[in-house]
Amino acid sequence: MTEPEHPTRIAHYQILDLLGEGAQGRVYRAEDTRLGRRVALKVLPEEGAGAQRVARIERERDALVRLDHPGICTIYDAGRWNGTAYIAMRLVEGRPLADELGAPPGSRRELERRLRILEQLARALHATHEEGLLHRDVKPGNVVLEQGDRPVLLDFGLARDADELGLTLPGE
């Protein structure tokens, strides 16, 4: 019998499928069995999770807890389970902003739509700055457009306090 590609459960979250993978870990679509809602569950497996990586996921958790804005992904829960650090966040359904920016706008109306999206994104970033946080990884791949073209900023894994010495060195 072969090992499953991903865990079936982490804490009280039933894993449904893999949404994405990056340097910080994996993000799964999961069901919160206590509250009966779907979440995005970011996990940092124990293996290879050095102190610096654990500090980054804890910093992401601490940053998200401080933020309350419709353009920023909300945190629901965070913890450790059997050696796995995790963050449960609002599951943002939509399409990546990167998909929108592939071709130049074909009309003035399309350009105005894109500018409205960027204005909303700038307001979300302003909210992070008002809390003294720097995202440090703003890019089209870290923004999802929900229904109605509402941008939501994701992945605060490199975020830090504006006055804090960072854990990420240049080039990492």
What positions carry a catalytic annotation?
A: 137
Give DSSP secondary structure letters for 6-48: S-SEETTEEEEEEEEEETTEEEEEEEETTTTEEEEEEEE-STT
Structure tokens at 70: 């419709």
Residues 20/27, Cβ–Cβ less than 8 Å: yes
What is the distance between the alpha carbons of residues 154 and 133, in angstroms, rounded to a whole number? 14
What is the distance between the alpha carbons of residues 81 and 94, in angstroms, rounded to a whole number? 29
φ, ψ at 128 (rounded to 5°): -65, -40
CA distances to 20, 34, 100 from 10, in Å: 17, 13, 34
Give DSSP secondary structure letters for 103-115: S--SSHHHHHHHH
